[in-house]
Structure 1
Amino acid sequence: MHKIMSTKNIISSLNFFSLLSEEQVDQLSSISVVSKYPKEYVVHYEKKENNSLLFLLSGLAKAYKIDKHNNEIFLHYIYENSLISEISNIRQDTLNSFSNITLLEDSQILQIDYKKFKEIFLDKGYLCSEFTNEIILRSQQLQSLINREFIFNSVVKVAMMLHDDLEIFNKLKRAEISLILHIQPETLSRVLNRLKRDNIIDSKNGKIVILDKEALMSVCEE
């Protein structure tokens, strides 16, 4: 029988809050709630204000935007034990969403009252470095997006996804991967066949297996 973790224990297990004292964790627990949501649940929409600071405890989510033609533009994945909320300004009492966030699996989310969190921690100088690191991470993700969309060719796009997100690659259908990378399905097939011919990857039971990580990394750096 699995032991059900308390909100306090869940918070204590997150690296983001590892520097808090036990008393501070108790304070944080009092303004937090843990909720479960099903696959395909939309956590929030872009340009909407949110009163909660959100952490993905288990499951998987994706961040994306919708262009003027109603096409989805994939941004990045959000993995378990990661911050979902997008931090751009720590002076406001609410959080603004830059993107849409949708769950790709049944997930568990920690919700923290952001206004109280700001009063108790941020305004007193606690966790500011952690928030700064999150802002830097979002900047790096934006840089990766720019590279993927405007600089990298199709071979590098596929190689980078195999290198960075192999588990996700093997979960998705080829058509979904093509949409994420903004390449044609035929192009994806050609790239995968090329990497197989070069003995960099192989396919076993319908899943991609990396045979030569160094060679794959070399392709990513082309």
Structure 2
Amino acid sequence: MLLEDTIKNINFFEELNEEQVNTLASFSNVSTYPKNSILYYETEINNKLMFLVDGLIKIYKVDKFGNEIFLYHIHKNSMISELSSLNSNEIQCFSNAEFTQDSTILVVDYEKFKENFLDKNILTSKLIEVLLKKSQQFQCIINRELVFDATAKVAFMLTQDLDMFNQLKRQEVSFMLHIQPETLSRVLKRLSRNKTISIQNSKVEILNKEELVSIFKGIGV
């Protein structure tokens, strides 16, 4: 696929015209990575704005004991980079990024992107919208880790990322949610018994989404 076509297929750039796409392509490139390779490590600094064209990325941190703490997944057609400022040309990495599938990313020179687009108020609102969504995502992670009990954690993942839940082994889900496999099994059985979900061939189907949402929002529980 041509670089210009790759750019057009990313929703973030959908409002650009042909000339603008060509301009963006002049300081961008596409890179491919195999499964289990690392895109960047925490504390690294770069000057690239990155988007996941295809594949899947796991974002995580490592505690002082060397234990991996899962944060979230980045799915295709999403911005990868974590921006803390629109003024600096450097982008700090606040966590680790590992490819969990063979993946393709679009890499954009951030300084030139600012000069040709943001400084001309092109895609600025789009970028702010993405950053606000990332901020909201981090708020959800804080709730998951510090506020939610096991049932709320499971309910949250089922409503937010059911496809991923069904793709992973139960042990992998337990690891991601930082709960014991036995606890996950009990929660799923209880939700199934209450007709909130159904489980067929180890695949979960949501029967009552409002009930699931109420569990982690604390409404009617």
TM-score, structure 1 normalization: 0.92
Q: SS at 1:194's partner residue?
A: helix
Residue in structure 2 matched with residue 55 of structure 1 by the alignment? 51
Distance 2:40 2:130 in 1: 18
Q: CA deviation at 1:166?
A: 0.9
Distance 1:69 1:171 in 2: 29
Distance 1:51 1:216 in 2: 41
Paired residue type of 1:124:
K
Distance 1:122 1:47 in 2: 25
Q: CA deviation at 1:19?
A: 2.3
Alignment partner of 2:39 out of 43, 49, 54:
43
Give yes or no for the alignment of 1:103 onto 2:99.
Answer: yes
Q: SS at 2:69's partner residue?
A: strand
Distance 2:189 2:201 in 1: 16
Alignment partner of 1:121 out of 117, 123, 126:
117
Paired residue type of 2:119:
D
Distance 2:141 2:82 in 1: 16
Residue in structure 1 matched with residue 78 of structure 2 by the alignment? 82
Give yes or no for the alignment of 1:165 onto 2:161.
Answer: yes
Give yes or no for the alignment of 1:142 onto 2:121.
Answer: no
Distance 2:36 2:9 in 1: 26
Distance 1:60 1:130 in 2: 22
Q: CA deviation at 1:23?
A: 1.1
| Identical-residue share of aligned pairs (%) | 50
Paired residue type of 1:213:
K
Query: In the TM superposition, what are the counterparts of 1:174-193 in structure 2 within 5 Å?
Result: 174-193=170-189
Paired residue type of 2:18:
E
Paired residue type of 1:129:
S
Give yes or no for the alignment of 1:94 onto 2:90.
Answer: yes
Q: CA deviation at 1:126?
A: 2.0
Alignment partner of 1:18 out of 14, 24, 28:
14
Q: CA deviation at 1:52?
A: 1.7
Distance 1:58 1:186 in 2: 34
Q: CA deviation at 1:151?
A: 1.0
Distance 1:197 1:63 in 2: 33
Distance 1:153 1:67 in 2: 21
Give yes or no for the alignment of 1:28 onto 2:24.
Answer: yes
Give yes or no for the alignment of 1:65 onto 2:55.
Answer: no
Aligned length: 218
Q: SS at 1:63's partner residue?
A: strand
Distance 1:32 1:40 in 2: 24
Paired residue type of 1:171:
Q
Q: CA deviation at 1:122?
A: 2.0
Q: CA deviation at 1:203?
A: 1.9
Distance 1:70 1:156 in 2: 27
| Structure 2 unmatched runs, 5+ | none
Residue in structure 1 matched with residue 147 of structure 2 by the alignment? 151
Paired residue type of 2:9:
S
Q: CA deviation at 1:55?
A: 0.4
Paired residue type of 2:155:
A
Q: SS at 1:126's partner residue?
A: coil
Paired residue type of 1:17:
F
Paired residue type of 2:197:
I
Q: CA deviation at 1:149?
A: 0.9
Residue in structure 2 matched with residue 132 of structure 1 by the alignment? 128
Give yes or no for the alignment of 1:196 onto 2:192.
Answer: yes
Task: Say what the alpha-carbon RMSD is for the aligned residues.
Answer: 1.5
